[in-house]
A = this chain, B = another copy of it.
Amino acid sequence: MRVTRQKVAENRERVVAMAAKLFAEHGFEGVGVDAIMDGVGLTHGGFYKQFRSKQHLAADALAQGLAASAEQMKKHKTLAKYVQSYLSPRHRDNPGEGCLIAALATDVARQSDEVRDELTAHLPGAIERLAKLTGGDDPADAHQKAVLALSGMVGALVLARAVNDKALSNAILAAARGGLSGGASLKTGAAP
């Protein structure tokens, strides 16, 4: 049964969005084509009318998810506020609605160049946006701080998700939040 051109485009968008969500929750290898198609109420046979392969979908899903993450970042006025929401228990507990970088970080490294290219293209912009949020004067310094903030946020979220103990997980989030929100210095032996 054929379908409106508009419906076709809609369906494709929905498949990509569902894939981004499910990949974020279970990893690239943890989700099958049938689960994604089921998720949007279609059958898996039609998948290959829309995508050349699962890998191509993965690239599209990563691109869409990263774009959504960028929008998310723009909602926050200061680095501290962004860090607070990024390192919140809510974000930790809902990878499907959260940052794709943290959700798929180690997975991406094992995917095809096509998939890795998407993250590679996205990162410089994300770092630049973070650098603006840090509000420093020296651009080089702001850039370094941005890389540090991004690394710390991704690393802390990933660790908080990997750990099996809620108290430890919360402690990691809290410590990283405190450190990245502007309170602490990383300089060794810093004292007032």
**Chain B residue at minimal CB-CB distance from A191:** B137
Residues of chain B lying within 8 A (CB to CB) of residue A159: 101, 105, 123, 150-151, 154
Residues of chain B lying within 8 A (CB to CB) of residue A168: 120, 123-124
Q: Are A162 and B27 in contact (CB under 8 A)?
A: no
Q: Which of B135, B148, B182, B187 contacts A182 (CB 8 A)?
A: B187
**Chain B residue at minimal CB-CB distance from A118:** B164
Q: Which of B29, B106, B134, B185 contacts A162 (CB 8 A)?
A: B106
**Chain B residue at minimal CB-CB distance from A165:** B120
Tell me whether A129 is interfacial, beta carbon within 8 Å: no
Docked pose: A120 CA to B143 CA in angstroms: 33
Smallest Cβ distance from A102 to chain B, in angstroms? 8
- Interface residues of A, count at CB 8 A: 66
Residues of chain B lying within 8 A (CB to CB) of residue A175: 143-144, 147-148
* Residues 124 to 157 of chain A near chain B (Cβ within 8 Å): 124, 134-137, 141, 143-145, 147-156
Residues of chain B lying within 8 A (CB to CB) of residue A102: 106
Smallest Cβ distance from A70 to chain B, in angstroms? 16
Q: Which residues of A contact B (CB under 8 A)?
A: 26-27, 29-30, 79-80, 101-110, 113, 116-117, 119-120, 123-124, 134-137, 141, 143-145, 147-156, 158-159, 161-165, 168, 171-172, 175-176, 178-180, 182-191
